[in-house]
């Protein structure tokens, strides 16, 4: 939330560069790994990933370059247990240090899957995608982060009196519950019981490229609020939460 320029350069323009090069060099498939934070985003990260999704889908409307036709596929899922940045290694480190365990809010919930599950489903979705697909994974039931912390304390053989769990407050842009689909989206079943195809609003490549040109101009101007305002224009459902950019939603 503190670095919207980095989110824009990496998640949006970084994705664009690799996607364009895939078409140029005739890659058969391009699979983008997105996030449930892209659904009704409340932060810069989620909004930037949603814009990247829109660009990826728009490429399927472009004519093939020199007879080549790359199929663009997007996968969207939640947190991966044990991955870099996951709460599990963090909690383990905090417990081994004698505590306390820190959670941002007692009611915060997240979807989780294991690393093998995530890898297998990404590969399956990539194989079955025919272009402009957004695949949503069945993540099961969301889990309370606070309950996960309590279970880890117990598994380590401690009591909650020995390892304290404290609330630190929601971080800028953070929301209590993640979603896998927006209210305007529907899902269609696929032959895989854990993979659904999402029906989402799309833009043409010409439309999204016009937005990208305007984003590029704003980068030169170095105005963070103008940049975020433009992101909100591209993703109308982007409503900031616990963030300095909430004032843009009031104006809107």
- Residue 16 appears among annotated catalytic residues: no
Q: Name the catalytic one among 16, 29, 37, 194.
A: 37
Which tokens is 105 given?
């809010």
Please check whether residue 131 is in contact with residue 67, taking contact to mean a CB–CB distance below 8 angstroms: no
Give the ranges where the chain is alpha helix by DSSP (H): 4-7, 15-24, 44-58, 87-96, 115-128, 145-155, 205-221, 224-234, 246-251
In sequence order, the 6+-apart residues with CB closer than 8 A to the CB of 227 are 4, 5, 8, 215, 218, 219
Please check whether residue 50 is in contact with residue 38, taking contact to mean a CB–CB distance below 8 angstroms: yes
End-to-end CA distance of the chain: 20
Q: Which residues are catalytic?
A: 37
């Amino acid at each position: 939330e503190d670095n919207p320029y980095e989110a824009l350069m990496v998640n949006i323009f970084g994705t664009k560069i690799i996607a364009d090069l895939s078409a140029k060099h005739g890659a058969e498939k391009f699979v983008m790994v997105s996030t449930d934070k892209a659904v009704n985003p409340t932060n810069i990260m989620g909004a930037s990933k949603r814009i990247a999704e829109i660009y990826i889908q728009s490429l399927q409307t472009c004519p093939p370059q020199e007879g080549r036709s790359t199929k663009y596929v997007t996968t969207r899922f939640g947190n991966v247990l044990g991955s870099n940045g996951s709460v599990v290694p963090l909690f383990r480190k905090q417990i081994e240090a004698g505590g306390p365990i820190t959670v941002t809010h007692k009611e915060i919930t997240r979807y989780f899957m294991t690393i093998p599950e995530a890898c297998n489903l990404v590969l399956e979705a990539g194989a079955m995608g025919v272009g402009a697909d957004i695949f949503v994974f069945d993540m099961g039931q969301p889990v309370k982060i606070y309950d996960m912390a309590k279970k880890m304390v117990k598994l380590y053989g401690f009591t909650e009196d020995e390892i304290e769990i404290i609330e630190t407050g929601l971080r800028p842009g953070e929301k209590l519950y993640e979603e896998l689909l927006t209210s305007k989206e529907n899902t269609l079943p696929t032959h895989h019981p854990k993979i659904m195809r999402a029906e989402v609003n799309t833009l043409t490549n010409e439309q999204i490229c016009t937005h990208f040109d305007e984003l590029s101009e704003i980068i030169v101007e170095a105005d963070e609020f103008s940049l975020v305002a433009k992101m909100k224009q591209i993703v109308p459902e982007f409503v900031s939460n616990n963030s300095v950019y909430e004032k843009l939603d009031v104006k809107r």
